[in-house]
Structure 1
Amino acid sequence: MTGVVIGWKRKEPAFLLLYIVVVFIYFIHRTLQLAHEHRSKLYGLRPGWLFPHSLNDVSDAQWRNFRGNLPILTSVFALFAVVANALKAFLSLGAKGMAISWILISLSYLAYLHGACTIYILLIASANYILVMIFARTKYFSFAIWVFNIFVLVCNRIYEGYSFSIFGEQWAYLDNFRGTFRWHICFNFVILRMLSFGYDYHWANQQRHFDQRKHIQRCHTCKSGGICYQLLQERSLPIDNFSFSVYLSYLVYAPLYLAGPIISFNAFASQLDMPARIFATRDVLWYGLRWIFSFMIIEIMNHLFHYNAFAVSGLWRSLSPMDMFIITYGEPTYRENQCWQSEFQASSCSVQ
């Protein structure tokens, strides 16, 4: 009996692998059939570029905006890299000087994205900064900052980014200049950054329990002369680093503004003076290849499977239970790849 169990355990991985391969082949085959059968009823299909006579699913607004703005996103990231290296090479700017430079460039980028609505971002960010400065040293800090930020999130959603006309008809004309991207959608990331700044400032005014010396002894990156992300994040910064200019540059830093990833304020501010060099050129190139591969996977899914078009068209309701399962399995997978791709694009430009 024991021998049978051992024999099965040896064969089980191969059996599971075969099962997964068969299921995915069936899923792909059936999805292609469904896409072909219902093509005329699906919303948001446009002539494709990847395959001859193919249709591209552009029904997802988030991916459509990202894909449509990809040239300007790439230009902004390239500009950031060039400006960062030029400023460091010729002007030797410190943290505050770099912060002001990032603010000017990032606000230009936000003006393109959100137009006149950029003022909402600046007003909310300023209110949060004042709140942090008032309550950071008190026991009411956590309550105050969470209530404020949740209140902002709820109001942003209820009022759909606030029409200027609600403040008076004399401001209604500004609603014609709301930019190309709804500001309150990506403001969720700004909320997380405002919280990070608040707590890092709050903890900077208290006794920290992070043992930097012990960490350096244990961390391979720090031991070899580098600086790891954990050290950047956990060590306390001088109070002078929590200025409004550094804070604002952290909130609106263009390469990470739309899709993250979220880094702590400590980690961001620490790299304004001296960026962390923890990636070799080979790693960066490999990162870029992964980005291209991810982008092509999403485009192939859009051209062949049309998962999101099934979702927005409502056709999934008329499918059989098995077909419905296939579509509802594929659609979240598609969205997960989208989020990963947009974050990949953003994080490819680290703090310079």
Structure 2
Amino acid sequence: MVLQYLKKLYTLETLDTRFVVPATSPPKEALEQTRIDPANPLPANHGNITSNGAPASKSGPGPEPPKWKTTEFYVYFAVIFTSVVFMFKIAYGVSKESHPSYSKFGPLLSDGWIPGRKVDNSDAQYASFRNNIPYMAIVVILHPLLRKLYDSFWRSSTYTQVRSNSQLSHGLTANAAADARMEQRISFDLYFALAFLFVLHGVSAFKVLLIFRLNYLIATAIPKQYVPAATWTFNIATLFANELGRGYPLAGAVRFLIPSPAEGDATLVGWAKALDGYGGLIPRWEVLFNITVLRLISFNLDHYWSLSQRGGSPLEKKQLDPSNLSERDRVSISAKLSDYSFRNYIAYALYSPLYLAGPILTFNDYISQLRYRAPSITTQRTLMYGIRFLLTLLTMEVVLHFIYAVAISKAQPTWQVYSPAQLSMLGYWNLHIIWLKLLIPWRFFRLWALLDGIDPPENMVRCMSNNYSALAFWRGWHRSFNRWIVRYIYIPLGGSTSGPWGKVRSIANFLAVFTFVALWHDINLRLLMWGWLVTLFVLPEIIATMLFPKRKWEHRPNTYRWICGIGATGNILMMMAANLVGFAVGLDGLKGLVEGIVGSFGGLVFLVVACGALFTGAQVMFEIREDELRHGIRMKC
């Protein structure tokens, strides 16, 4: 019984129904067909439709028979089980007090709640989230309760008037009710978000609102043909200005305007300093503003594209039910022109559950879900998602209490004191902690949105260790950001096309995309190098797919699978290197790790053994995806 519940808990449908419902299918009918069967944790095949809405190829070969119970895979399981045990043991060994380097990283550790263990809370980004979990949990509980209280005062009369008007047709009544629901939710979202903003940022909330106003004027007050270029110029300039201006402290602004203050002016500087002291719970608002920039661009471009629609509403043209729109229609079909108001724009940009970290929801999707509650939101699914989040949080706590990889790397260790195996595990666990420290806040804020009746996309599709393709990895890592990039950057640049020149153009588009992504994350050379490394490491995969097309190996599937396993092993090593440079140890740290691993005969032997383990892992990853295909799910990651 427990095993069946765990299988149900870890299905794709529990994580996000978008993975099992085609993006072009009306969700009510599709969800009815993909109800979870405890005896069969993956949804039933619903016509062999891909998860992105495209029909699976009928001409190509279907999924192969399961290999889970073959001798080959029993060997793989044994290798993986042994590897996991040693991976934990090695990382735990270098985290002990008896290790020679403990005196360097020990001061970075904090008191833990697991008896006899310190906790590695040295990552400032995750520490700020971890330390505030109790307070954020209170807000998550209060927010829905306050909405219910607000609705109890205002909603009943509004809905009664709409539904009791017998002179209106049924369709018009339903539309009026949907508009009333949106207005009701927008009002609460706006009031709560403004209060939330001032609590978070204090006097700096006015700076945020000023940026919002300038961006809104770009969308509505300049000639239409200049809106896209002006939007991108303004928002990228804002990223740079926020970084260079460090949040524009008022005292600094006064000193800039009055370089040599007189006695009275000095008082003005003092007042400015005093106001800067009211910075709220998060005085450095500019650090978290990058995610808001994406929403500002989304509003402007969604509004710009809505101006191009002619000849009536797409809903009427396609005869679509607005309460049962597919996810693709919710995103692509523009809202009413009257919906692109300043009030709605502020409520969207500051929507409290998603304001700090996302996931990213487009303006069109937000307005659509305000009118009609997404059919994917159910009490059971939200409860299971919450349990899954708590298990992930517990996993992170166990890792931070027993493996001090982050503190070790921050202490600038002498890499020579570590063996090749220890160096590899430090790099590996660093990446896993990075993955978890991003996964946990994203799922926390998505859970908050689900409790509030909004269903944003899931940001993390697969475990970090269940990735072998650089292209697929970036589709599944920060997935809502990836979808945002595809809609607002990649497709407008031309997307990808077939043929050699199409591949060249795709690579150029990738370079442009990852340059923006690197600058968006943080304006520094290390992340810019990471973006270029990612683009560089995508090249071997693109070239390999051209040299080894699957159709030529239809009669030798096992040989093709083993060739792909070799390529996947190289891909995994390159992805680990790129992410270590960008988010963990930097280029110098990576250089030290690599020299420590390949600088000796024992290190080379270890590297060969590690590659063998990665090869077995890749084969299991292939089979997981084949298993999804057997159930009609074709994911791109």
TM-score range, shorter chain: 0.7 to 0.9
What amino acid does structure 2 have at the position aligned with 1:23?
S
**Partner deviation per Cα, 1:138-162 (whole Å, 9 max, x = no partner):** 2222211101000000111122222
Q: Report the more deviating stretch, 181-190 or 314-323.
A: 314-323
Is 2:277 the counterpart of 1:176?
yes
Residue among 206, 223, 240 paired with 1:154: 240
Residue among 247, 256, 271 paired with 2:369: 271
How far did 1:317 drift?
Answer: 3.3
User: Aligned residue for 1:299?
Assistant: 397
User: Aligned residue for 1:333?
Assistant: 432
d(CA) in 1 for partners of 2:375 and 2:405? 40
User: Aligned residue for 1:86?
Assistant: 149
How far did 1:98 drift?
Answer: 3.1
The count of corresponding residues between Structure 1 and Structure 2 is 338
Residue among 14, 27, 31 paired with 2:87: 27
Residue among 207, 212, 216 paired with 1:129: 216
d(CA) in 1 for partners of 2:414 and 2:250? 39
What amino acid does structure 1 have at the position aligned with 2:365?
A
Contact 2:151/2:184 (8 A) holds in 1: no
Q: Could you say what the CA RMSD is over the residues aligned between the two structures, in angstroms?
A: 2.7
**Partner deviation per Cα, 1:258-290 (whole Å, 9 max, x = no partner):** 121100101112233333242222211110110
User: Aligned residue for 1:110?
Assistant: 197
SS in 2 for 1:269: helix
How far did 1:330 drift?
Answer: 1.0
How far did 1:211 drift?
Answer: 6.2
Q: Report the more deviating stretch, 172-181 or 122-131.
A: 172-181
Flag the 1:213–1:173 CA change in 2: closer, same or farther, 3 A. Answer: same
Is 2:395 the counterpart of 1:308?
no
**Partner deviation per Cα, 1:172-204 (whole Å, 9 max, x = no partner):** 222222233221111111000001101110111
How far did 1:323 drift?
Answer: 1.9
Contact 1:212/1:231 (8 A) holds in 2: no
SS in 1 for 2:195: helix
How far did 1:325 drift?
Answer: 1.9
**Partner deviation per Cα, 1:232-277 (whole Å, 9 max, x = no partner):** 2222211111111111111111111112110010111223333324
d(CA) in 2 for partners of 1:78 and 1:200? 32
Flag the 1:83–1:321 CA change in 2: closer, same or farther, 3 A. Answer: same
Normalised TM-score (structure 1): 0.87
Q: Report the more deviating stretch, 180-189 or 254-263.
A: 180-189
Residue among 199, 210, 223 paired with 2:301: 199
Flag the 1:213–1:138 CA change in 2: closer, same or farther, 3 A. Answer: closer
Contact 2:389/2:440 (8 A) holds in 1: yes
How far did 1:206 drift?
Answer: 0.9
Q: Report the more deviating stretch, 101-110 or 255-264.
A: 101-110
How far did 1:21 drift?
Answer: 2.2
How far did 1:228 drift?
Answer: 4.1
Residue among 79, 89, 109 paired with 1:45: 109
How far did 1:214 drift?
Answer: 9.6
Contact 1:228/1:278 (8 A) holds in 2: no
Identity of aligned residues (%): 26
- Larger gyration radius, structure 1 or structure 2: 2
d(CA) in 1 for partners of 2:358 and 2:414? 32
Contact 1:163/1:175 (8 A) holds in 2: yes
Contact 1:77/1:349 (8 A) holds in 2: yes
How far did 1:103 drift?
Answer: 2.2
Contact 1:208/1:236 (8 A) holds in 2: no
Q: Which runs of 5+ in 1 are unaligned?
A: 1-6
Flag the 1:159–1:325 CA change in 2: closer, same or farther, 3 A. Answer: farther
**Partner deviation per Cα, 1:36-64 (whole Å, 9 max, x = no partner):** 02444214211110x21110111111221
How far did 1:215 drift?
Answer: 8.0
Flag the 1:153–1:85 CA change in 2: closer, same or farther, 3 A. Answer: same
Contact 1:316/1:327 (8 A) holds in 2: no
d(CA) in 2 for partners of 1:117 and 1:306? 36
Contact 1:232/1:266 (8 A) holds in 2: yes
SS in 1 for 2:376: coil
